[in-house]
Amino acid sequence: MNIDYRLKFALFLILAAIVFFMFKANNIFENKIVTHQSKSITFKDDTKPIQIGSTDETTYKIKKGDTLYSLLKQLKINPLLINKIVNDENLNSFKTLLPGNEIIFSNIGKKIFLKKFDGKSAVDLIEISGDRFKLKKLTNLNSYVAFKEYKIERSLYESALKAEVPNNIIDELMIVFGWDIDFVFDVRVGDKVKVLYTEFYLEGRLLGNSDILAATFINNGKEFSVFRFSQQGVKDYFSADGESVKKSFLKTPIEFAAITSPYNLKRKHPILNTIRPHTGTDYRGKTGTPVKVTGDGIVVRANFSNSYGNIIDVKHFNKYLTRYAHLNNFERSIKVGSRVKQGQVIGYVGSTGLATGPHLHYEFRINGKHTNPVNVSMPDAQPINQYNKAVFNKVTKERIGLINNLSSI
């Protein structure tokens, strides 16, 4: 009996030790999970919370209204440090956040890292540790040539998106071909677009893309080609024969806008009901649609007129003047004396003044004389100079060959 009792007692102690060990082990395991558990931070309007607190990188796509301040605030960064970061002039490019831009977040130890592609060929990195931060430039990116092509089915923009062409490349296509092709009147179903551009990767992750290297646009059977080339340190686009595709003026100040009232010196005014010369072209557009200045120049007027509503006049080369009227409002930086660059947004479509609905009234004057902006012949920019001609011809030949080899349409 004593032996049985001692045996049972020994078995009891062994079982108790096993239970105790399992309990401790379980606690240790749980502590490890807590120690390494990711901290979830949900950014506004985002359906998927961003995980910060692990070494894994997470990408957040910028939405309208996002700022660097709001992102850092939601990462629980000290407000005093946030103010230092957003007021640092070296971070100006990082602070410029546009809808669709991507910020890459990661965490190593107690350090938080934010990465943003600079849109050229490098990555801006903010390293935050405690109450300090550093800005670094990562230049060890891998670059590759990418190729996309598509046929236009409904519109250039929709067809490009369907072919997975990046938005910034679509915008650049609009610019480089916008001097020769009117995207309202000239584009046809079945037109073909082919484009070479650069993609940048860091550690296998696609960060973004840069300029168009070459592109062709077959419009109604006629082929237009553009090639990027730099001379005298200035990047520009040229045709295959070395002529600049850039004209002094864009054909239209609004993308994809139909003309509702053409240039007509004998038009009957829809509100005044009298014959009154229509010395410009009216483009239909929704209120708030961006209006782009068609050429480099200086703003000489930006005010309100009873008939024109909110109006902007821009002087170009002391010879030309363009007018943009019935605007809903001006871009904040626009005032008399402002220098503007071709393609820059200067205002937004509205219906101010004598207007029956939202539209843009656009005028083009040469030496003070009204001219039909649809028919005016635009002067060209400078061509490839003789010193660069041989190199340009070699580059052009290579890129044409690459497009032809990759194309299947």
As beta bridge partners, residue 244 has 238
Residue 228 lies in a domain: yes
User: Confidence band (pLDDT; 50, 70, 90) for 208?
Assistant: confident
Tell me the DSSP string of 295-340.
Answer: SSEEEEEEEEETTTEEEEEEEETTTEEEEEEEEEEE-TT--TT-EE
Q: Are 234 and 303 in the same domain?
A: no
Specify the pLDDT at position 54: 45
Q: Are 182 and 270 in the same domain?
A: no
pLDDT over threshold 60, residue 258: yes
Highest averaged pLDDT of the listed ranges 206-220, 247-261, 269-283: 206-220
pLDDT digits (tens, 9 = 90+) for 312-353: 999 998 789 999 999 999 998 899 999 999 889 999 999 999
Residue 34 lies in a domain: no
Specify the pLDDT at position 274: 55
- 149-163, 192-206, 261-275, 384-398: least confident range: 261-275
pLDDT digits (tens, 9 = 90+) for 390-409: 999 999 999 999 999 999 98
- Domain closes at, from 78, 104, 138: 138
Q: Are 88 and 176 in the same domain?
A: no
Tokens coding 42: 């949900």
In sequence order, the 6+-apart residues with CB closer than 8 A to the CB of 74 are 41, 42, 43, 44
Q: Are 69 and 130 in the same domain?
A: yes
Residue 166 lies in a domain: yes
Give the span between the Cα atoms of 78 and 82, in whole angstroms.
6
Tell me the DSSP string of 148-164.
Answer: EEEE-SS-HHHHHHHTT
Q: Are 133 and 208 in the same domain?
A: no
Residue 222 lies in a domain: yes
Q: Are 283 and 229 in the same domain?
A: no
Residue 324 lies in a domain: yes
Tokens coding 248: 């002094």
pLDDT digits (tens, 9 = 90+) for 14-69: 655 554 444 333 333 232 222 222 233 333 434 333 444 445 678 888 888 888 88
Tokens coding 66: 């996002």
Residue 231 lies in a domain: yes
Considering only residues 140 and 152, tell me which one the structure prediction assigns the higher pLDDT: 152
Give the span between the Cα atoms of 113 and 80, in whole angstroms.
18
Domain assignment of residue 183, given as a range = 143-246+383-406
Residue type at 388 in one-letter notation: N
Specify the pLDDT at position 216: 95
Please count the other Cβ atoms lying within 10 Å of the Cβ belonging to residue 84.
14
Give the span between the Cα atoms of 257 and 252, in whole angstroms.
9
The enclosing domain of 279 has a CATH number of 2.70.70.10
- Domain closes at, from 86, 116, 138: 138
The enclosing domain of 394 has a CATH number of 3.10.450.350
Looking at the structure of the chain, the number of domains it has is 3
3 SS3 class:
helix
Residue 25 lies in a domain: no
Specify the pLDDT at position 31: 28
> Among 304, 360, 310, 303, which residue's Cα sits nearest to residue 335?
303
Q: What φ, ψ does residue 69 adopt, rounded to 5°?
A: -60, -45
Q: Are 125 and 150 in the same domain?
A: no
Q: Is residue 107 a contact partner of residue 364, using CB atoms and an 8 Å limit? A: no
173 SS3 class:
helix
Specify the pLDDT at position 318: 79
Give the span between the Cα atoms of 384 and 246, in whole angstroms.
12
Q: Are 301 and 367 in the same domain?
A: yes
- Domain closes at, from 138, 154, 187: 138
Q: Are 50 and 120 in the same domain?
A: yes
Q: Are 263 and 367 in the same domain?
A: yes
Residues 177-206 have a mean pLDDT of 86
DSSP secondary-structure letter at 104? E
Residue 28 lies in a domain: no
Q: Are 275 and 352 in the same domain?
A: yes
Q: Are 64 and 120 in the same domain?
A: yes
